[in-house]
Amino acid sequence: MELHVLFHSVHQLSRQIMKCNNTVLQEYGLYSAQWSVLYVLKQRGRLTQKELSEYLAVEAPPMTRTIQRLVKQGYVRQVPGQDKRVKFIELTELAEREYPVWEQAVLEMNEKTIRGFSKEHQQQLQKLMTEWLSAMERHQGEEEKK
Amino acid sequence: MELHVLFHSVHQLSRQIMKCNNTVLQEYGLYSAQWSVLYVLKQRGRLTQKELSEYLAVEAPPMTRTIQRLVKQGYVRQVPGQDKRVKFIELTELAEREYPVWEQAVLEMNEKTIRGFSKEHQQQLQKLMTEWLSAMERHQGEEEKK
DNA sequence: CTCCTTTAGTTACCTAGGTAACTATTTTTC
DNA sequence: GAAAAATAGTTACCTAGGTAACTAAAGGAG
């Protein structure tokens, strides 16, 4: 089993997916990282930046940048919390209004991205990746204990 | 089936793998993109930049940058071809000498990265990803025909 | 032979994500 | 209660990869 090949396939798949997403999102002046934030906020409602970056498994600095750009575009608001360190992030009315259009476009693109790859195989793939990811996490946890 | 989740898993896996690779490579002043070039050159021998970027499925500009850095570090040489547009890339003696050490370190890290994820599942995963990638490629080909 | 098109590589500029070092607020500890 | 440690977020700087626009060399069509 050539691990190089396996790693390369994962990497390439990741880039292809992001590329597809970006081509559809650019029509609306958005990029994939921004979309993922908007998507999470729509599902979960108002979250702190910490919660957002944990949920999306991204470090704090990139999250700060993505949010700042969304603020500049008027799609997101930073609300200071009682604890003056935290900032709650929420969608603006503008974003709520535009969201359905974005979602529609993204869903269509997702359809294209996955076309020719059966539902059954999608599920198998999902299961395998989840398993691998949790194995890695388990591992990192053990490393940190030392 | 939530495609968002599937895409997110691929993306996260890709980042985790690169992170692992970088932590081991940084001891030798290398980064994952550079390593992948060195690896291909070791396997295939002298290649043009075009061939390299096609093989690694990366656009020409990032490849130019990665190679320029490797040249600066003295690990790679650009040899002009008969066709004066092309540049052949080959490992230097220095790189050939260091290669086994790098390889050893990378192999150990790969071991760690995959630990807890069975050989059988690795194969299943590889098969599924290859299938998906080729479905995407098939698609893109059709799009371009239009 | 000349002009047009294609091709290999580079440059400039963009997003995505990472680490290290920092500020400003809690929380903990003594 | 004051000093120390932890936490949320930001800033600066790095790699990885993408597109668009460019240069220079090769090929083709007339």
**pLDDT at site A46:** 96
B85 near B12, Cβ under 8 Å? no
Of A5, A6, A135, the CB nearest to B115: A135
A96 near A83, Cβ under 8 Å? no
Q: In this complex, is the C-beta atom of A54 within 8 Å of any C-beta atom belonging to chain B?
A: no
Range of the domain at B133: 118-146
Is A93 inside any structural domain? yes
Q: Is the pLDDT of residue B145 over 90?
A: no
Is B103 inside any structural domain? yes
**pLDDT at site B108:** 95
* Distance in angstroms (rounded) separating the CA atoms of residues B68 and B90: 12
B130 near A9, Cβ under 8 Å? yes
Identify the burial level of B129 via C-beta atoms within 10 angstroms of its C-beta, where 0-12 means exposed, 13-18 middle and 19 or more buried: buried
- Do residue A121 and residue A54 come from a single domain? no
A48 is near strand D: CB distance < 7 Å: yes
Is A24 inside any structural domain? yes
pLDDT-derived band of residue B4, with 50, 70 and 90 as boundaries? Answer: very high
Q: In this complex, is the C-beta atom of A40 within 8 Å of any C-beta atom belonging to chain B?
A: no
B48 is near strand C: CB distance < 7 Å: yes
Q: What is the interface pTM, i.e. ipTM, of the complex?
A: 0.91
Q: How many CB pairs under 8 A join A and B?
A: 129
- Parts of chain A with a pLDDT under 50: 145-146
How far A132 CA lies from chain B's nearest CA (Å)?
A: 6
**Under an 8 A CB cutoff, do A110 and B3 touch?**
yes
- Do residue B105 and residue B47 come from a single domain? yes
* Distance in angstroms (rounded) separating the CA atoms of residues B1 and B134: 21
Q: Which residue has the tokens 């990192």?
A: A140
Is B96 inside any structural domain? yes
> DSSP code of A64?
H
**pLDDT at site B141:** 67
**Count of domains for chain A:** 2
- Do residue A51 and residue A81 come from a single domain? yes
- Do residue A123 and residue A98 come from a single domain? no
pLDDT, greater one: B93 or B146: B93
| Cβ count within 10 A of residue B137 | 12
Helix (H) or strand (E) holding B47: strand B47-48
The CATH number of whichever domain residue B87 belongs to comes to 1.10.10.10
Is A110 inside any structural domain? no
- Do residue A133 and residue A98 come from a single domain? no
- Do residue B90 and residue B26 come from a single domain? yes
- Do residue B56 and residue B72 come from a single domain? yes
- Do residue A8 and residue A80 come from a single domain? yes
Q: In this complex, is the C-beta atom of A3 within 8 Å of any C-beta atom belonging to chain B?
A: yes
- Do residue B53 and residue B81 come from a single domain? yes
> Can you read off the two tokens belonging to residue A109?
């693109």
Is A111 inside any structural domain? no
| Of B101, B84, B92, B104, the residue nearest B67 (C-alpha) | B92
Is A54 inside any structural domain? yes
- Do residue B81 and residue B110 come from a single domain? yes
**Under an 8 A CB cutoff, do A9 and B129 touch?**
yes
A82 near A37, Cβ under 8 Å? no
Q: In this complex, is the C-beta atom of B4 within 8 Å of any C-beta atom belonging to chain A?
A: yes
- Do residue B63 and residue B104 come from a single domain? yes
Is B74 inside any structural domain? yes
List CB contacts of B23: < 8 A, sequence separation 6 or more: B109
Chain-centroid distance of CA B33 in Å reads 6
Percent of the residues in chain A that have a pLDDT greater than 70, as a whole number: 96
Q: If you measure CA to C1', which residue is closest to nucleotide C26?
A: A83
Angle between helices A32-44 and A93-114 (to 10 degrees): 110
How far A79 CA lies from chain B's nearest CA (Å)?
A: 27
- Do residue B31 and residue B64 come from a single domain? yes
